[in-house]
Amino acid sequence: MNPVIKLIQNRVSCPRLTQPAPSEGELTEIFSCAMRAPDHARLRPWRYHVVQGQAREALGEVFAQVAREGGECSEAKIDKCRNMPLRSPLMVVAVCEPQTNSKVPEIEQLLAVGAGVQNMQLAISSLGYGSVWRTGEMAHAPLVKDAFNVSDQGHIVAFLYIGTPEKVPNKPELEMAKYVKLWN
Ligand SMILES: Cc1cc2nc3c(=O)[nH]c(=O)nc-3n(C[C@H](O)[C@H](O)[C@H](O)COP(=O)(O)O)c2cc1C
């Protein structure tokens, strides 16, 4: 079987991630795959931020502040938010900075960044690591966007948690005919 197809067919998200994370050299490989995402008019709307080590704790404090300022919120929820960035040894925050372009609407630029994230997930799997793409309320919180210098028009597209899987989940089997129609 073609190894690339096999890799794609077997990719699963891994929510439980531990050390080690990809090395600096491996990260360079992973980002070089992100840069090969299809991108209408080659606008390069993506920005990637690598969060690791103590920067995860600093981000956790930002998440906790968002939870605290979000109205009635239990200490347990604030702690949960503080600990979110510690769920893996490394996180990539994927940002879309859409440009005004008469031919390329914002949605296409978001899709280009999404394709970059998926390329990264496949590269991460191929190197023997795991990842999970998350968003949630923190992706839209102005405080979090400020922490990564995201513009008013920009969007956080993904918190990509990366590390070594503690356990690789089972892959769900989908009934292809339900989703794929042939028109001959
Ligand atoms: C744009 C986007 C945002 C997502 N946000 C979350 C999230 O916040 N929390 C979560 O548990 N899964 C989230 N997911 C789904 C997981 O990344 C994953 O795809 C899902 O758990 C299914 O697992 P699988 O990829 O192994 O099929 C998101 C996926 C996408 C594409």
- Among protein residues, the one with the nearest Cα to ligand 1's atom 22 is 13
Residue 67: its pLDDT value, please? 96
Q: What percent of the chain stands above pLDDT 70?
A: 100
Gap from CA of 160 to ligand 1 centroid (Å): 10
**DSSP 8-state secondary structure symbol assigned to residue 153:** T
Gap from CA of 183 to ligand 1 centroid (Å): 30
Which of ligand 1's atoms lies nearest the C-alpha of 11?
A: 26
**What are the structural domains of the chain?**
3-178 (3.40.109.10)
Q: How far is CA 71 from the centre of its chain?
A: 27
**Most ligand 1 atoms within 8 A of CB, residue of 91, 107, 120, 134 to mutate:** 134
- Among protein residues, the one with the nearest Cα to ligand 1's atom 31 is 133
Which of ligand 1's atoms lies nearest the C-alpha of 117?
A: 31
pLDDT in tens, 49-86: 999 999 999 999 999 999 999 988 899 999 999 999 99
pLDDT in tens, 123-167: 999 999 999 999 999 999 999 999 999 999 999 999 999 999 999
Phi, psi (deg, nearest 5) at residue 144 = -70, -40
Residue 117, pLDDT > 90, answer yes
Cβ contacts of 54 within 8 Å, gap of 6 or more: none
Residue 1: its pLDDT value, please? 87
Q: What percent of the chain stands above pLDDT 90?
A: 97
Cβ contacts of 113 within 8 Å, gap of 6 or more: 37, 45, 46, 94, 95, 96, 157, 158
